Copies of this chain bind each other. A is one copy, B any other.
């Protein structure tokens, strides 16, 4: 059962680090975008429609990189092809 444990441990550690590291960038990027949006709103309140819309589209694209990381972590935990293969082999043994 040694080989399965190794795969499990690697999956657990990788899943955590991927989401942990991968959320730094989006959080900082979104923070910057939101902060600048507020400055823009204060400077030009009349353009609030355009600013808000552009902000949300932009933040959604930044969020997408965080979601890539989260999806990858979920795949590693719940749909890991290497784990499936190892479990299948252990069952068929």
Q: What residues on B are CB-neighbors of A36 within 8 Å? A: 34-36, 38-39
Within 8 A of B (CB), among A67-93: 68-70, 72-73, 75-78, 80-83, 85-87, 89
Q: What residues on B are CB-neighbors of A21 within 8 Å? A: 17, 20-21, 24
Q: What residues on B are CB-neighbors of A68 within 8 Å? A: 19, 23, 66, 69-70
Q: What residues on B are CB-neighbors of A4 within 8 Å? A: 3
- Separation in Å of the A52 CB from the closest CB of chain B? 6
**A contact residues vs B (CB 8 Å cutoff):** 1-48, 50-52, 54-59, 61-66, 68-70, 72-73, 75-78, 80-83, 85-87, 89
24 contacts between A and B (CB under 8 A): A7-B9, A7-B12, A8-B86, A10-B12, A12-B14, A15-B16, A16-B17, A16-B76, A17-B17, A19-B20, A19-B22, A21-B24, A25-B26, A25-B27, A27-B62, A28-B29, A30-B31, A33-B35, A34-B59, A36-B39, A38-B39, A39-B40, A41-B51, A45-B47
